[in-house]
A and B are shown apart, each in its own frame.
Chain A
């Protein structure tokens, strides 16, 4: 996944989850908000609402406070404690409108509070506003995770995603591979042809990653001329084949600022065909030491370690 493809869901209608024990209210909101093009999800109580939120991941929640069983405050607390749902904006829609109730709702993380009875035009505007704020927050968050020169994800994003992917692969016993790529003799390029030439090389490699990697792969700029490629559902041998293909393409590129001088990269790969109990940080270290082994053994090559039982080391150049 490169940042350019990460918001493919923009044309999907926003999902509005209404958690309220009043059937009349559901019917009203379903028709009147549904007419705005939203996909409406109904939950008639707190427990049901939490279940639907976890299952359907809504874009905004309209939450009643006074409900039998799990009340709105408890639902709000649970939503904000769930890492997958804590950023979903919650508009409290309630007949409880004392200052104390409002303060509690905002302190628990509600983005807005609308008293019942409410004006439909006002509610529609508030839903639009909550969705807009949420979208802007996501955009800001994404920008903070992007590398300015290449448009790839940055190292901070890598750290989070790598830990998540490693955990997921181990839990589901799925393949996962990691490659660390470093441009060979990059300092020479900079010193000989200037920093713009070096930047062009970095950008050229980033474009190759964007073109060659699958949508589910994650390409990050790890450091100056170093990149990390997270490849979920990819065995180490497949990762090696992919990195080798990219390495060959990169080596064959011609650079307008130094047409007579090609550039290569070295690559260290560590992967597993199933979830192996290797700490994510150790996994990175293994890929990194393979990278340096590739450098030491002559550069312009990839070295891979298969971390699944009976590991073996293979070298390609």
Chain B
């Protein structure tokens, strides 16, 4: 059994006087211990809402969560607030995108780290302080003792993100969710943080859910990748297979639209037409159909189901009536 089993997770937001919005529309995936699973997609695809729903961080009013998210056999979605509080920070850790707005600006870094240790591991204040310094040291913050007494605004962006990771790791969680952990950071700092996350996962066998819009980050870090569009997973595969032969027109389009540092210069980018706002609801067909260069009549008539892809080898799930033919496959095989 997987450490985390998400089945048919849906989140609907309600607003008075307006139509409800389905942000997540039946997402299922598994995470094994020590595995890194990526959720990739553009803004509004439901990747962050998925993680908030798993962590029980969505407001009770205005949001309906259905489906199931089992952590080590325990259903998380039906736990009481008190039970969930015991889980969060102990079994489940989370790192957010913007460290400045997720750290409390008027409480010292030290207190914010020791708080978790005292609450979940029952350490005394003194023990917690020693442990906190060790944690900061482990995530690569120089002079940790001094940093403990400082406040978030005194740290640089990269250091704040490290502090946030230290807090998330304080109780050695078995599952860590990182929601765009490097989006607010510069590339050289991003490289430091990604290396740190990879090392921690390797050392502690922590399962990691990596939420990002950056396919480059996914390519380097994730074992398995879920590509989301308009609240549903449209393609899932191991990272090597996915990047070598993207089958869903959306994945294919995403990869074709990013300029690559190592590609020959002068090639024109082939963008996906339209914007993410142009999707249609999944009920009447494929949400991506209005933007899809491969769309056929069937795409606007019946909703595609998630099926195992028979064409390429490897475990791949695909939600598409008319996937991209693996053109470069013959060449790839000849090369290898």
> Does B associate with A?
no
Interface set of B (CB-CB < 8 Å, partner A): none
Interface set of A (CB-CB < 8 Å, partner B): none
